[in-house]
Amino acid sequence: MSRIAYVNGRYLPHQEAGIHIEDRGYQFADGVYEVCEVRHGHLIEERRHLDRLDRSLRELRIPAPMSRTALGLVLKEVVRRNGVINGSVYLQVTRGVARREHVFPAPDTPPSLVVTARRANPATQEATALHGVAVISVPENRWPRVDIKSLSLLPNVLAKQAAKEAGAREAWFVDTDGYVTEGASSNAWIVTRGGAIVTRPAEAGILRGITRTVVVEVAHELGYQLEERPFTLAEAREAAEAFITAASTLVMPVVTLDGSPIGAGHPGPVATALRQRFHDFAEVTA
Ligand code: PDD
């Protein structure tokens, strides 16, 4: 099945799908995005992803490209046309196409909307989760508004590339006080030797991950002790377990940090349980 992308009102062959060279997403990274898991052909946590999209758009004063109902239909149609059973759907909204000026374009400039979908292999992902992934640490160098899911991801791109070159899957940003903020494309968690699950509060300094929100619920339901507080890199090195969460990886155990093993150096029971039970709690769109 050939891939199809939605671009500003049209479903186009992926190869031919493009946007104007003066799209503000292209010129200024002036836009926002979401990535939503697709499982058994259904969107996972669509409502929360669209809530967060609304918030990101509001914070940046970008108009919504269409109603939420219409957007939901486009997402499902892109998933359907691409025959995605398991994978993800990506959407991005920019402030539209206009002559290059930093200031906002005329208020009647329509925002641009692009939606794509891609397949993932659940067996491969489970195999990765069984082994766990490596993480490196990098200095936090992003703007303070990382609560907005902005297209402006240059520090994240560089961090991720540094991770790859070090043979790792993810990079954790560490602020000047030694606290881990989050991953380049995921939220960061540890499990202390006392068994408490620790993750940074989402009020500032990180993106409020949708997977994070669900995992907080799962942790409560499974009776784990949960502490929403910042943790340092030093604390992470001494942790019993660590893991990352994102719509694309779900709960992914972390087994090494900057080359040194975390805990026993293999996926721990807490991360494994949270991963296994995640979909019992995540909301599925019919
Ligand atoms: N990234 N923090 C950052 C910086 C992220 O980019 C992401 C997700 C998360 C986790 O959010 P969620 O659980 O809602 O996926 C946290 C997506 C998957 C990406 O950029 O591909």
pLDDT (tens digit, 9 = 90+) per residue, 30-59? 999 999 999 999 999 999 999 999 999 999
Instruction: Compute, in angstroms, the gap from residue 103 CA to the centroid of ligand 1.
Output: 28
Q: Mean pLDDT across the stretch 167-176?
A: 98
Q: Coil, helix or strand for 38? A: strand
Q: Which residue minimizes the CA distance to atom 6 of ligand 1?
A: 185
Ligand 1 atom closest to residue 210's alpha carbon, by position in its atom list: 14
CB 44 within 8 A of CB 211: no
Q: Which residues line ligand 1 (CB under 6 A)?
A: 35, 182, 185-187, 207, 209-212, 245-248
CA–CA separation, 208 and 182 (whole Å)? 10
Work out which ligand 1 atom sits closest to the CA atom of 90: 21
Of 175, 148, 146, which Cα lies nearest the Cα of 55?
148
Q: Kindly list the structural domains of the chain, giving each domain's residue range(s) and its CATH number in brackets, ordered by start.
A: 4-120 (3.30.470.10), 125-281 (3.20.10.10)
What's the CA dihedral at 11, 15, 20, 24 to 10 degrees?
90
Residue type, 32: V
Element (DSSP H or E) covering residue 85: none
Give CA–CA dist 97/109, Å, rounded: 7
Tell which one of 185, 274, 278 to mutate to probe ligand 1, the residue whose CB is within 8 A of the most ligand atoms. 185
Render pLDDT for 145-164 as a digit per residue (tens, 0 to 9).
999 999 999 999 999 999 99
Atom of ligand 1 nearest to the CA of 52: 14
Q: Which residues contact 124 (CB under 8 A, 6 or more apart)?
A: none
- Residue 149 annotated to the active site: yes
Q: What is the pLDDT of residues 72-106, one digit of tens each?
A: 999 999 999 999 999 999 999 999 999 999 999 99
